[in-house]
């Protein structure tokens, strides 16, 4: 049993650790304390985000792997436990770093808010601090880690008692490369969106369904884009310049490209969740196009972050190209997935120069779109060993297990 220790509780709600005292006091006055998390955790009176939020991602991780946990008040714990902090958004406010720009956070120092019992239990090796950054792939920043080190050292919290969970698969490399190998926090990279997508789609689809005959499709490719990012704008401008938009299913709201993505599953049940991971829309686009142009979260930034955007075409047995940071395909290979070098020159994945990498990807898109649909259909069929392998590997995710360091003290 994994114990998750909390400092405060209101009725049945455990207050996220690291929550500023003034917000906790505010929550105690509300009829529904959870209201502080609405509207993107923005506090109306200050127009500032909360620095921390629920730890539901870590709890979901444990639940998915069948690991039992319980939430307990710190004073009621006899054994070992985790003191979990779930930094929100930019992950700057909870360590007292101000944030530039229009969307800013309340700043605090989570170590100063930590109860004396927790500090004592950490020193006695009964407690570990776990920073839940499972849904973020922020690039390594020495300013961020310098500040984290400082507040840990000032509070006499051993750095090796802290575990930072991140979706940035190169954060640990960059961190150790910057500081060397001694007196560091623990880094654990987890591809949380692979798990999250597995959980979501297993609700709506039979992941063990038999192979089906492939019918001819009407579109060459698809590329679904939501949030505005420079590399997505670059892609759409390229597709427009080359007159390729009409050959695919393309969406990108900043440039007024929309698709109807309302989807009804086999039992005619509509997903009404506001959680983007519960967005099971767009299945018809996957089934009626041959390859996927995935625009990951980062391209120009120095982060190796793999989100649900890549795992969706894997689930729907689509070949893909990835607008992402260098070595994204290499990371997929480490995870046991195969990619499509039979028909795509994937050397773009090794190119560190962003403009060159972008140009190499665009050349491959043009090459595939120069084929006829009949030719592309034959190419697609020739790749069945790759996408069938990927699909099976995806469905075996839970069997691959979980890093024990984040649930066994």
Instruction: Tell me, yes or no, if the pTM score tops 0.95.
Output: no
> Is the pLDDT higher at 2 or at 281?
2
Mean pLDDT of all residues in 80-87:
96
pLDDT tens string 303-329:
999 999 999 999 999 999 999 999 999
State the Cα–Cα distance between residues 3 and 68, nearest whole angstrom.
9
Residue with tokens 């395909």: 329
> Is the pLDDT higher at 205 or at 383?
383
pLDDT band at 214 (very low <50, low <70, confident <90, very high): confident
The CATH code for residues 199-398 is: 3.40.50
Which of 44-53, 94-103, 154-163, 233-242 shows the lowest per-residue confidence on average (mean pLDDT)?
Answer: 94-103
State the Cα–Cα distance between residues 125 and 80, nearest whole angstrom.
8
Domain spans of the chain, in order of start:
2-190, 199-398
pLDDT tens string 217-272:
999 999 999 888 999 999 999 999 999 999 999 988 888 887 754 433 333 334 44
pLDDT band at 398 (very low <50, low <70, confident <90, very high): confident
Tokens of residue 234, six digits: 């670059």
Mean pLDDT of all residues in 135-149:
94
Supply the pLDDT for residue 284. 85
């Amino acid at each position: 049993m994994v114990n998750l220790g909390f400092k405060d509780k209101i009725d049945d709600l455990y207050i996220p650790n690291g929550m500023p005292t003034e917000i906790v006091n505010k929550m105690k006055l509300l009829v529904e304390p959870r209201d502080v998390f609405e509207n993107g955790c923005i506090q109306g009176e200050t127009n500032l985000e909360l620095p921390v939020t629920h730890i539901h991602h870590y709890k979901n991780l444990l639940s998915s792997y069948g690991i039992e946990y319980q939430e307990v008040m710190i004073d009621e714990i006899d054994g070992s436990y985790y003191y979990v902090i779930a930094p929100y958004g930019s992950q700057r406010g909870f360590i007292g770093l101000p944030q530039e720009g229009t969307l800013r956070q309340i700043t605090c120092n989570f170590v100063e808010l930590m109860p004396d019992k927790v500090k004592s239990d950490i020193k006695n090796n009964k407690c570990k601090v776990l920073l839940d950054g499972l849904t973020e792939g922020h690039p390594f920043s020495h300013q961020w880690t310098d500040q984290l080190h400082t507040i840990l050292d000032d509070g006499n919290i051993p750095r090796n008692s802290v575990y930072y969970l991140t979706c940035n698969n190169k954060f640990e490399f960059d961190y150790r490369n910057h500081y060397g190998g001694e007196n560091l926090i623990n880094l654990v990279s987890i591809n949380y969106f692979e798990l999250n997508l597995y959980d979501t789609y297993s609700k709506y689809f039979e992941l063990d369904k038999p192979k089906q005959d492939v019918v001819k499709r009407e579109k060459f490719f698809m590329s679904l884009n939501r949030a505005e990012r420079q590399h997505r704008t670059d892609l759409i401008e390229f597709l427009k310049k080359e007159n390729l938009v009409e050959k695919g299913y393309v969406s990108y709201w900043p440039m007024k490209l929309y698709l109807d993505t309302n989807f009804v599953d086999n039992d005619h049940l509509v997903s009404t969740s506001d959680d983007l991971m519960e967005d099971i829309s767009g299945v018809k686009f996957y089934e009626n196009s041959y390859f996927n142009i995935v625009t990951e979260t980062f391209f120009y930034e120095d982060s190796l972050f793999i989100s649900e955007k890549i795992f969706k075409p894997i689930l729907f047995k689509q070949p893909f190209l990835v607008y992402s940071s260098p070595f994204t395909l290499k990371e997929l290979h480490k995870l046991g997935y195969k990619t499509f070098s039979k028909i795509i020159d994937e050397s773009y994945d090794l190119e560190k120069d962003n403009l060159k990498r972008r140009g190499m990807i665009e050349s491959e898109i043009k090459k595939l779109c120069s084929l006829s649909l009949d030719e592309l259909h034959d190419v697609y069929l020739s790749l069945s060993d790759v996408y069938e392998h990927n699909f099976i590997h995806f469905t075996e995710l839970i069997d691959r297990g979980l890093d024990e360091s984040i649930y066994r003290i």
